[in-house]
Amino acid sequence: MFYTIDILGTIAFAISGVLVAFDKRMDLFGVLIIAFVTAVGGGTLRDLLIGNTPVSWMKDITYTYVIIASAFFAIFFRSKINYLRTSLFLFDTIGIGLYTVIGVQKGLQAELHPIICVALGTMTASFGGVIRDILCNEIPVIFRKEIYATACILGGLSYFLLVRLPIENDVALLISGVIVIVVRLLAVKFKIALPNIYREKIRN
Amino acid sequence: MFYTIDILGTIAFAISGVLVAFDKRMDLFGVLIIAFVTAVGGGTLRDLLIGNTPVSWMKDITYTYVIIASAFFAIFFRSKINYLRTSLFLFDTIGIGLYTVIGVQKGLQAELHPIICVALGTMTASFGGVIRDILCNEIPVIFRKEIYATACILGGLSYFLLVRLPIENDVALLISGVIVIVVRLLAVKFKIALPNIYREKIRN
Amino acid sequence: MFYTIDILGTIAFAISGVLVAFDKRMDLFGVLIIAFVTAVGGGTLRDLLIGNTPVSWMKDITYTYVIIASAFFAIFFRSKINYLRTSLFLFDTIGIGLYTVIGVQKGLQAELHPIICVALGTMTASFGGVIRDILCNEIPVIFRKEIYATACILGGLSYFLLVRLPIENDVALLISGVIVIVVRLLAVKFKIALPNIYREKIRN
């Protein structure tokens, strides 16, 4: 089941990359690359930092096929893709939930400190979008207005509380993934943002 | 012979970096760094992704000497460098042919899937230019108007067809490198670009 | 003692990241990330290139705590932080001195060529600032007007002269660190910059 959601997340991330590349009027190759880095960028950074090489997507060709197929789908149906934005947002949100959990797990396997595990989970979920924005010459959206990464951090931290309860490890992982998803959905629904740290300036 | 062409490619990439850094009016240090990352960036990314560390240029100091010498050459003869643009274009094109082949080979050594090998070859040939453009705060040129990477992909794929023929491995590598070069030269000569994926918008 | 200065350097780099993130009006998460990459970016690149994984800051949680504390300090006292700029400049300068020395040492441990060791030292000291500027969508300041990296290169090279003298290795490292610091301080005090390589253009 994890694998299925992982693939759905990959599709959503790939398509979100295509949409940004469209806005920049990139050519076919550029669109494919942006789709690719958006989908696998986070996992690649995580694998590099912990020394898990060759990185994951190089060892399982399925990701490559899924990303290329998703990108061509988005290119051919570009005029209709707007109707899919709600579904995409859901896939994307489910994707970051799962990507966070995968990152935390990889950190645990490498016997790293819980805080570092949470950082790895957050990177896995969010770095693809960061590198997408850098390649498109934008300040990464995540640094400016998203509760995105905060949801990953809260979900990741909750795992380390949950494992102290008398429940199975897989269940704790699942619940922490769900927490990421719920926090993100609530934040978007109720337009919750991080506290504004620039209040003083605005008052003046 | 491979080594000689590799060095010629390194020179061409280093000088192409210097020319872009000039346009941004970087200082001496900036120019050297851009020359360096343009020349070794692709191979470095490849080595990191497959876990071949320390990365190649750290193990053979020749590359460092060649890049520094090329950069100073370009700085001292900057008013004349325009006369060399045709030679540089040839070096650069030969360089990407060889870099593609080297990347494919490294992927084979790491026992990766043919498509991943082609991706590694393409990265080796093109990522130096991408990182040059990011450091210079430009949308990478390769994402917008070049047949560059497509030539690498076609050459890389051709290798996996050629090895099925009754020819030696080295010959197959050589031919696939030549295919990269020929595709690039033809594309530039006949101004062939990737299919425009934005037709609908232009029609409206 | 090295460890104490390392921590002071980490604090200074983290706060310098916060100040740049403020200018870009990033949210709380963005500010923390920029603080983090500015402080650990250089060491991370070095560790990745030589294959020292998991990278250093993942193995010692102290860095993470120090960076988060520094960032919150800078956020809460943001209206007063300007009075600290001189102290910060000193921390930062001491930090690059030490970071250079650490990078050189790691290169020696990996048995790399002296020039590569100097490059690793310079990267350790300067790449955090480069990645900070890329994430903030600026051309890295270091490529345009700083004697910063040149100080690291001179200090790093001096180590390989000093070890030929009949002095202990630790003393040689310490002196080369001090050379980085002194060169930087003198360069800033007397406004020494790299030779202008654009003279011809200005004359015309």
Mean pLDDT, residues A61-79? 90
Q: Which residues contact B162 (CB under 8 A, 6 or more apart)?
A: B171, B172, B175, B176
Q: Which residues contact C176 (CB under 8 A, 6 or more apart)?
A: C100, C101, C104, C155, C156, C158, C159, C162
Question: Chain-wide mean pLDDT for chain A?
Answer: 84
Quick one: pLDDT at residue A146? 62
User: Can you tell me whether residue C137 is helix, strand or coil?
Assistant: coil
Q: Where are the domains of chain B?
A: 2-203
- Angle, to 10 degrees, between the axis of helix C114-135 and the axis of helix A114-135? 70
Share of chain A above pLDDT 70, in %: 90
Q: Has residue A114 got a pLDDT over 80?
A: yes
Share of chain B above pLDDT 70, in %: 89
Q: Has residue B134 got a pLDDT over 60?
A: yes
pLDDT tens-place string over residues B172-193: 988 999 999 999 888 888 877 6
Q: What is the ipTM of this complex?
A: 0.80
Q: Has residue B201 got a pLDDT over 80?
A: no
Quick one: pLDDT at residue C196? 65
pLDDT tens-place string over residues A29-56: 888 888 999 999 999 999 999 999 899 8
Q: Has residue B136 got a pLDDT over 90?
A: no
Q: Which residues contact A10 (CB under 8 A, 6 or more apart)?
A: A39, A40, A63, A66, A67, A70, A95
Point out the residue among C50, C51, C137 whose CB comes nearest to the CB of B137.
C137
Q: Has residue A157 got a pLDDT over 60?
A: yes
Among chain A residues, CA nearest to B50: A54
Q: Has residue B114 got a pLDDT over 90?
A: yes
Point out the residue among A137, A195, A198 whose CB comes nearest to the CB of C137.
A137
Interface test with C, best of A104, A136, A143 (most C CBs within 10 A): A143
Point out the residue among C119, C138, C144 whose CB comes nearest to the CB of B26.
C144
* pLDDT band with cut points at 50, 70 and 90 for residue A62: very high
Rounded Cα gap, residues C187 and B15, in angstroms = 29
* pLDDT band with cut points at 50, 70 and 90 for residue C198: low
Quick one: pLDDT at residue B203? 41
Quick one: pLDDT at residue B143? 63
pLDDT tens-place string over residues C113-153: 999 999 999 999 988 888 888 888 777 766 656 678 889 99
Q: Which residues contact B25 (CB under 8 A, 6 or more apart)?
A: C144, C198
Q: Which amino acid is at C97?
A: G
